[in-house]
Structure 1
Amino acid sequence: MHFPTVCPGCAREVRAEFADSAIHDLTCPHCGTRYCVFVRKHKFEVLFDLGTRALLDGYAREAVASFAAALERFFEFYVRAFALERAADAAGDFGEALAALDGTWRHVASQSERQVGMLALAYLLREGREPDFLTPKALGADFRNRVIHRGYLPRRAEVDAYAARVFALIDRLLTELGGSAAHAELSQEQAFAAHLAALPEGVTAIFEEHPGMFRARRFGTAPPAKAGPGMTARSVNGASALNDAQTFARALAERGPLLDVFKRRPSPAGSPG
């Protein structure tokens, strides 16, 4: 997937491909300027936006795969936020805590069931209650497995329902994390800082924040305290529904066009697509 950037040398648009690290070392094809774009967006956000774009474009099966991957990566984000929050509360060294977390995560990086186990324990320790959202029904696990592993071709309505389930769960847990999500965000900033320090002289650094289904809420207005028409009240005690189709539909109507415009903005003649 590509996104548009503007060359700091000639001000012409360049299409860049999203990198797994969110760090993009680029050379302008028009004037040769070297620059580096740091995208402040976490992997679960990018994956969910990919699913949203696929859904809007009519690729239902591909959307399910992206939504499922987004949920898995959000579970990792939650565990990281919790672990680094605890380290901060204990007045520990952030760098050491991050290194220990990275080393621990390597033991479960290729085993999704163990990652869910880490999420379950992190949620219990942080919230003091059972993670009621980890049942196969709540996660839509059967639908996901039919699509991804058995080749099932889902209808749009089924994908809408699954997307709503994933969206509402991530939205709920982000709300419960509140400011603690900043601990996981700081780990990304540290990776950016290390790459920035190693950039050769003359390479311009650019930091960007892109529109997205979750960032619109996290970096914009706070969620409402009371339910309005077509919305479900959110609660830091975990009272929000996990299959809130109305809330997802509302977010899709408000933020989906931002993703579509961002993707489809025309490039100048000669720019890579």
Structure 2
Amino acid sequence: MPFPATCPHCRREQPVEFADSLIHDLKCPHCGGRFCLFVRKHKFEVLFDLGTQALLGGYAREAVASFAAALERFFEFYVRAATLERAAATGQEFGAAETLLDRTWRHVASQSERQVGMFALAYLLREGREPEFLGSQALGADFRNRVIHRGYLPPRTEVEAYAARVFALIDRLLGELGEGAGHAELAQERAFAAHLANLPDVVVAVFEEHPGMFRARRFGGAGLEGLGPAKSARRPAAPPPTRLNDAQVFGQALRERAPLLDRLKSR
């Protein structure tokens, strides 16, 4: 899903594909000006938004792949946030903790099942309870495997149900992370700062915050109706109450956020 980027030199737009790092070194095709665009968004957010756009555009099967990848990358986001939060609480220097985490993650980077195992342990250590939502049925793993690995062509209703399940889980876990998510935010800002420090003087740096399905939760604004605002780093011992079912949560977010995604795509 390309998005339009405005050249800071001549103010004209050009289409840009999301980079894996969300750092985009660009040269304007109109005036030749160079600029670097930093998008304050995480990979799981981009992937879920891509899935949403595919679903709305009628590409149901393609949407499943993006939603599944978004969940996997969110598990990594959670592990990073929880680990860096724990390191900060023990007085460990952030850069050293991040380096150690990166070196450790390399051992599981190509094995999704091991990544889920790391997430399960991180959740247990942080929340003090079992991640009961990790069963294959709860995660919709059988449906995902049928679509991605066995070529099943799903109807839109099944994809919407899967998307709702993934959305509700990510939304719940972001709420439980609360301020803890800020540690993963800081890691991204440090990566941006390192790239920015090496840019030539002629390159203009541009920072953008794009709308997305999880944007309100991520930045600590009011949560979806019935779910309340994002929780702080101090969590209750009991699981959070569920007032809306998965489909209702996803449907409400889709009504609220999808128009913003459309405007971003076509602006």
**TM-score (norm. length: structure 1):** 0.91
- Give the superposition deviation at 1:59: 0.3
Could you tell me whether the CA contact under 8 Å between 1:7 and 1:28 is conserved in 2? yes
Q: Which SS does the other structure have where 1:4 is aligned?
A: strand
Superposition pairs for residues 109-188 of structure 1, below 5 Å? 109-188=109-188
Tell me the alpha carbon deviations over residues 142-164 of structure 1, each in whole angstroms, 9 at most, x when there is no partner: 10000000000001100010000
* Corresponding residue of 1:79: 79
* Corresponding residue of 1:263: 265
**Alignment partner for residue 246 of structure 1, among 245, 248, 252?**
248
Could you tell me whether the CA contact under 8 Å between 2:216 and 2:223 is conserved in 1? no
Distance across 2 between alignment mates of 1:240 and 1:190: 35
* Corresponding residue of 1:196: 196
Tell me the alpha carbon deviations over residues 43-82 of structure 1, each in whole angstroms, 9 at most, x when there is no partner: 0000000000000000000000000000000000000001
- Give the superposition deviation at 1:221: 2.7
Distance across 2 between alignment mates of 1:25 and 1:122: 35
Q: What is the aligned-residue RMSD (CA, Å)?
A: 1.8
My pick for the range that moved more, 15-24 or 233-242, is 233-242
The verdict on how the C-alpha distance between 1:84 and 1:242 changes in structure 2, with shifts beyond 3 A counting, is: farther
The verdict on how the C-alpha distance between 1:213 and 1:188 changes in structure 2, with shifts beyond 3 A counting, is: same
Tell me the alpha carbon deviations over residues 95-132 of structure 1, each in whole angstroms, 9 at most, x when there is no partner: 00000000000000000000000000000000000001
My pick for the range that moved more, 240-249 or 43-52, is 240-249
Q: Which SS does the other structure have where 2:108 is aligned?
A: coil
- Give the superposition deviation at 1:240: 2.9
Distance across 2 between alignment mates of 1:232 and 1:91: 31
Could you tell me whether the CA contact under 8 Å between 1:168 and 1:242 is conserved in 2? no
* Corresponding residue of 1:57: 57
The question of 1:16 aligning with 2:16 is answered yes
- Give the superposition deviation at 1:220: 6.2
Could you tell me whether the CA contact under 8 Å between 2:50 and 2:66 is conserved in 1? yes
Could you tell me whether the CA contact under 8 Å between 1:172 and 1:234 is conserved in 2? no
Distance across 2 between alignment mates of 1:26 and 1:175: 35
- Give the superposition deviation at 1:243: 5.5
My pick for the range that moved more, 75-84 or 7-16, is 7-16
Equivalent AA in structure 1 for residue 11 of structure 2? A
Tell me the alpha carbon deviations over residues 245-270 of structure 1, each in whole angstroms, 9 at most, x when there is no partner: 011011101111111121133xxxxx
Equivalent AA in structure 1 for residue 151 of structure 2? G
Distance across 2 between alignment mates of 1:234 and 1:174: 7
Q: Which SS does the other structure have where 1:150 is aligned?
A: coil
Could you tell me whether the CA contact under 8 Å between 1:232 and 1:241 is conserved in 2? no
Q: Which SS does the other structure have where 1:41 is aligned?
A: coil
Q: Which runs of 5+ in 1 are unaligned?
A: 266-273
**TM-score (norm. length: structure 2):** 0.93
Q: Which SS does the other structure have where 1:5 is aligned?
A: strand
Equivalent AA in structure 2 for residue 258 of structure 1? L
The verdict on how the C-alpha distance between 1:242 and 1:110 changes in structure 2, with shifts beyond 3 A counting, is: farther
Distance across 2 between alignment mates of 1:54 and 1:242: 25
Could you tell me whether the CA contact under 8 Å between 1:22 and 1:38 is conserved in 2? yes
- Give the superposition deviation at 1:238: 3.5
The verdict on how the C-alpha distance between 1:160 and 1:31 changes in structure 2, with shifts beyond 3 A counting, is: same
- Give the superposition deviation at 1:234: 9.0
- Give the superposition deviation at 1:17: 1.3
Superposition pairs for residues 34-53 of structure 1, below 5 Å? 34-53=34-53
